[in-house]
A and B are shown apart, each in its own frame.
Chain A
Amino acid sequence: MKLGLMKTCLIATTALLMLGTAAQAQGVRENYEPVTDEMLLNPPAEEWLMWRGNYANQGYSELDQINKDNVAGLQLAWAWPMADVGIQETAPLVHDGVMFLQTNNNIVEALDAKTGDRIWQYRHVLPELPAAWGYQLNQARRQKNSIALYGDKVILTTVDAKIVVLNAADGTVAWEKQVLDYQVGYSYTIGPLIVKDKIISAISGCSIAGTAGGCFILAHDANTGEELWRFNTIDDPNNPAQQESWGEVPAENRWGGTPWATGAYDPETNVTFWGVGMPGPYAELIRGSGDGSVLYTNSTLALDADTGELKWYYQHLPRDNWDLDSPFERILVSQEVDGKMANMVVSVPGKNGIAFGLDRDTGKYLWSKETVQQNVVTGIDPDGTVHINEDLISTAVGEAHLICTSVSGGKLWMAGSYSPKTQTFFVPLTEACNTVAPTQTEFTAGNAVGAVKFGPRVLPEGITEAGLVQALSVSPTEGDSKWQARSRPSMTSSLLATAGDLVFGGDAGRFVKAWDQETGEVLWEQRLNAPIGGYPMTYELDGEQYLVIPTGYSNAASSISSAFPEIPLPTGTGNSIFVFKLPAAK
Chain B
Amino acid sequence: MRIKNIILYISSLCLTLSSCDSDELLKVNENPNVATSIDPDYLLGYAAYAWTGVRTGGDLYLPVGWANQAFSTGGNAGWGYAEDRYDISPFSTGNTWSGYFVSVGNNLNIAIEQAESAEPKNNNGAAQCKLVLANTMFENTMIFGDIPFRQAWKADEFTSPVFDPQEQILNDLLTMIDEAIAQIDITSVLKISNNDPYYKGDMEKWIKFGTSLKLKILMTMVDKDPSKASDIGALVNSSELITLSADNFEIDYYDETNSENPKFKIFKNYAGGENPWVFANTIGFTFMEDRNDPRISIYFDANDNGDYLPVDTATEAALDTDANLLSSPISVTKLWTADAPDLILSASEIQLLRAEIYARGIGVTADLNMANTLYKAGVKESLVYYSVSETDATTYVNGDLPDISTMSASDAEKEIHIQQWIDFQDRTLEGWINWRRSGPEGSEVPDLQLPPGAPAGGLFRRYTYPSDELTSNKNAPSGAGDLKLHDNLWFDL
Instruction: Tell me, yes or no, whether A binds B.
Output: no
Residues of A bordering B, CB below 8 Å? none
